[in-house]
Structure 1
Amino acid sequence: MSIVLTHAYYLYEDDKEQKIMRPYAPLGLLYVSSYLNKNNVENHVYDSTFYSFKEQLIFIEKQQPKVVAIYTNLMTKTNVIKLMKELKLNSKLGQPKIILGGPDVTYNCEKYLKAGADFLVIGEGEQTFLELYKTIQKEGDYNSIQGIAFLVKEKVIKTNARVKIKELKDLPLPNREAIPVHKYLETWKKHHGQSSMTVSTQRGCPYTCKWCSTAVYGQSYRRRPADLVANELKVLKINYKPDSIWFVDDVFTVSHKWLKSFHQEVLKQDAVIPFECITRAERLNDDVLKLLKEAGCFRIWIGAESGSQKIIDAMDRRVDVNVVKSAIQKTNSLGIETGTFIMLGYPGEDMSDISNTVQYLKEANPTHFTITVAYPIKGTSLYNEIENKITKQPNWETSTDRDIDFKRTYTRKFYDYAVRYVVNEVNSAKKRSLVSYSKLKIKSMLAKVGMLYYK
């Protein structure tokens, strides 16, 4: 009985990513694959990133799997549904059982099941998928499996939640050998001059930001032992020689005790690779910054989301904007690059909040910043708060949560101009050339006019 693990992201169909070209491997699938290998279950990973839908179907037809497991998130949902329909209708593909996992399935169980999935894995996938696969093999009782959902006579059956994996040390390293890692490294090298790979050291986030989904790992904090993380870096350094590492953890410095061990281990094992990470401002101090720099950290993304304390409090971020600003400034002074995230269009935000955000960015002066317009992900506190204010709810199968809109302070078009205004206004403050400064200021003023017009 064969298994194909796959997803439905196709790089060359993504116009935005083709401008950025910073693809990363599907770590979640690779963890499931290695866990199956550890339990002597044969499986085949099809990483669709550099291939097409047609090539994916050719692979599946060749394998004739009895089970196809697909990772899905809000950005790949429409492709996943397309793939499921093909698997159901095209008898040449072996008519496999379809299992879906990932953050988007938890709060959309009925929709995914009625769109074609036979089973959903809710939460962490390794243990649940293995147990489900064995039960499919012997056509056993699915009701006894924790952490799944399925249909019985059009009724959704959702079993009890599975207890999270407590000891992450028991997880094998992700099965990177199953995918074309060289394609990722070459793409990064070609477009950025340096390659990058991802590593995960923790699961769960103990914080309560209202817009953030915790559908898979929950509000827990579980960490792989520092010596095992250092060993993984050593393996990557020897086998793939990446120029940098992106730690995908939500808050890399949440535990100072773990960080000290990590610092000690990467030096001891000669496993230092330049890396970037995300953290919260209040989990940084002089000692932590020193440890990070010595361990190889070259860039820290420090979350703020807004320069307005009113909006930060509305998000339940539980941080002082001045603490964030000071952390960015201090990190800059140590020669470590900084990045921060900004979200516009959050409920209650007005012109003064946007002005505060611009001022905050100018004063904090992060090396990089990114801006998104707030959108509600089902299952989050933000979604629950604005659900009765939704003004645009497109067809579920052909859209994503990003397409949902709700009643905000201003029109949706306003925020398109607001993003341009913030980007150009803040970047103008960084330019020393009078010509560059003037060009950005003109763009900033034009965007401000657009904001006022669509207000």
Structure 2
Amino acid sequence: MRVTFIQPYYRNVWENIGLGYIIAYCKQQFQGELDVKFYQGNFDSDAEIVRGGIDSDIVAFSATSPCFPPAVRFAAAIKAENPKVKTVVGGWHVTALQEKALNEYIDQIVVGEGEQAMLEILQGRDDRIVHGTALPFPDLPWPDREAIKNHRTVDLCETMNGKRTTSFQANRVCPTSCVFCAEKTMTGKFNRRLNPIRSRSVEDVCAEISSVVEKYDLTYFKFVDATFDISPDYVIDFCREKIDHGIETEWECLIHASFCTEEMFYWLKESNCNQINVGCESGSPRILKQIKKGTKVETIENVFRWARNYGINRRAFFILGMPDEDRDDLHMTEELIDRIEPEVVGFTILCPYPGSQLYDHEKYRDQDWEQTDEYSNDFWRNNAFTNQELKDWQAYFTDKYSDKLCERQDETTFERLNV
């Protein structure tokens, strides 16, 4: 069977670890021969992608909301050349919208985690909506990095910032319930009994890291987990295992401020952690409570102080335009940034993606998601600011903290306006 996997173009380039897991699982479980191809819009031209899909039995797309429109265009172009090709789309967008995402060019959609669902499609299942199964994450094979051409993103990172970098995943299911996030759309809402966090052993994680570091000559790696610090003990155990494994490579992770302890930062430093990334979101206690962030301003300050004391770089993410956020709240955000003094900072205008609690289908059903990215959009407004006023605030923050901007945001030109 000939199967082509496609990751449409997106402004921010990373390897598709999710497809790597799906391909590895299907190769392991499928009873028959699989001829797998992979294309990524950041490296392959539209013409190459269409040509690559035409002679396939199945073409499967991985699509977030910004990637869904080009996925549909590719599906239409491929079917125009070969109507017999079965087209499948998985990812956050179709998982959130389900039947609302179906159209004449998409034969099937995968809802939720894709490993078992994709295997069943390869085995002949033809339901238009195929619900995924939450498999035990520790039992899955490592992602097939050769299939997803991981070397291309590693080489690109080296070209862009001098570090040969790739990503790993340690857990599935995020324990938080932030209203702006669609993470739980894919893996389900956390529940200690019914949907607990599914964690790989730190031994298995380090074994994979060691193998990939050697294969791709990595000088840096990061975790894609929405919350790597699911518990301080897990982080400490990982750090110790990394040291015992002799893995000296620098690394970074995304952490939740409320799950940290000072001891954790000692071990992060000992294991050569270069940077922590923290979704602070706001400096306003009122807004943090409204968005169900599950943390407090003083907790954020503690985390940034601990990391600084141990010499770990700190990256802070902030979202502008929470539903009731006003001028006073934004000034509190500014004051928090000045107190914690992060080495790197990024400012995003809130986007109500499908799957988040802020999404309203009747309001946004015709939205062109392709025109949004992780930093900006042209349509969101809250109860205090128009979209342009939010962009003005974003310009104000990026101008004030221009020496701290993360790489992607630093490349973006913002109109400088006074607010």
TM-score for the superposition, normalised by structure 1: 0.81
Q: Secondary structure at the match of 1:357?
A: helix
In structure 1, the partner of 2:96 is 107
In structure 1, the partner of 2:410 is none
The alignment yields a C-alpha RMSD, in angstroms, of: 2.5
Q: Secondary structure at the match of 2:185?
A: coil
Match of residue 213, structure 2, among 237, 243, 258: 237
1:231 shift after superposition: 0.2
Q: Secondary structure at the match of 1:382?
A: coil
Match of residue 197, structure 1, among 166, 169, 193: 166
1:177 is the counterpart of 2:169: no
In structure 2, the partner of 1:154 is none
Match of residue 56, structure 1, among 37, 49, 54: 49
1:201 shift after superposition: 0.7
Match of residue 120, structure 1, among 109, 129, 133: 109
Alpha-carbon distance between aligned partners in 2 of 1:286 and 1:348, rounded to the nearest angstrom? 33
Q: Secondary structure at the match of 1:237?
A: helix
In structure 1, the partner of 2:79 is 88
In structure 2, the partner of 1:408 is 383
Alpha-carbon distance between aligned partners in 1 of 2:233 and 2:123, rounded to the nearest angstrom? 39
1:403 shift after superposition: 5.0
Alpha-carbon distance between aligned partners in 2 of 1:236 and 1:95, rounded to the nearest angstrom? 38
1:296 shift after superposition: 2.2
1:301 shift after superposition: 0.8
CA contact (8 A) 1:281 1:324 kept: yes
1:218 is the counterpart of 2:179: no
Deviations, residues 288-320 of structure 1 (Å, cap 9, x unaligned): 111112222110012210111111111011211
Cα pair distance change 1:446/1:30, threshold 3 Å: closer
Alpha-carbon distance between aligned partners in 1 of 2:358 and 2:95, rounded to the nearest angstrom? 16
In structure 2, the partner of 1:441 is none
Q: How does 1:427-438 map to 2 (within 5 A)?
A: 427=402
Alpha-carbon distance between aligned partners in 2 of 1:398 and 1:174, rounded to the nearest angstrom? 27
CA contact (8 A) 2:378 2:387 kept: no
Cα pair distance change 1:183/1:445, threshold 3 Å: closer
Residue range with higher mean Cα deviation, 210-219 or 263-272: 263-272
1:415 shift after superposition: 1.1
CA contact (8 A) 1:299 1:338 kept: yes
Alpha-carbon distance between aligned partners in 1 of 2:53 and 2:366, rounded to the nearest angstrom? 31
Which residues of structure 1 form unaligned runs of 5+?
A: 18-22, 137-141, 143-148, 151-157, 431-443
CA contact (8 A) 2:166 2:220 kept: yes
In structure 1, the partner of 2:121 is 132
Deviations, residues 249-297 of structure 1 (Å, cap 9, x unaligned): 1111112332233223222222332111011112222211111122221
Match of residue 164, structure 1, among 127, 134, 151: 134
In structure 2, the partner of 1:66 is 57
1:35 is the counterpart of 2:28: no
1:396 shift after superposition: 5.2
How many residue pairs get matched? 398
Amino acid corresponding to residue 39 of structure 1 in structure 2: Q
CA contact (8 A) 1:233 1:272 kept: no
Amino acid corresponding to residue 130 of structure 1 in structure 2: L
In structure 2, the partner of 1:420 is 395
Match of residue 155, structure 2, among 186, 193, 211: 186
CA contact (8 A) 2:325 2:382 kept: no
Residue range with higher mean Cα deviation, 108-117 or 304-313: 108-117
Deviations, residues 340-396 of structure 1 (Å, cap 9, x unaligned): 110111111111111111110011101111111111112321225xx78x5x76455
In structure 2, the partner of 1:341 is 317
Cα pair distance change 1:73/1:133, threshold 3 Å: same
Amino acid corresponding to residue 35 of structure 1 in structure 2: Y
CA contact (8 A) 1:195 1:243 kept: yes
CA contact (8 A) 2:110 2:132 kept: no
Cα pair distance change 1:240/1:397, threshold 3 Å: closer
Amino acid corresponding to residue 286 of structure 1 in structure 2: E
In structure 2, the partner of 1:4 is 4
1:45 is the counterpart of 2:20: no
CA contact (8 A) 1:376 1:404 kept: no
1:132 shift after superposition: 2.1
1:332 is the counterpart of 2:308: yes
Alpha-carbon distance between aligned partners in 2 of 1:361 and 1:115, rounded to the nearest angstrom? 48
1:195 shift after superposition: 1.8
Q: Secondary structure at the match of 2:295?
A: coil
Q: How does 1:291-306 map to 2 (within 5 A)?
A: 291-306=267-282
- Higher relative helix content: 1
Deviations, residues 201-230 of structure 1 (Å, cap 9, x unaligned): 111101110000021112231111111000
CA contact (8 A) 1:233 1:273 kept: no
In structure 2, the partner of 1:153 is none
1:87 shift after superposition: 2.0
Alpha-carbon distance between aligned partners in 2 of 1:128 and 1:39, rounded to the nearest angstrom? 12
In structure 1, the partner of 2:225 is 249
Cα pair distance change 1:255/1:346, threshold 3 Å: same
Match of residue 417, structure 2, among 447, 450, 453: 447
In structure 1, the partner of 2:355 is 379
Percent identity at matched positions? Answer: 24
Q: Secondary structure at the match of 2:252?
A: strand
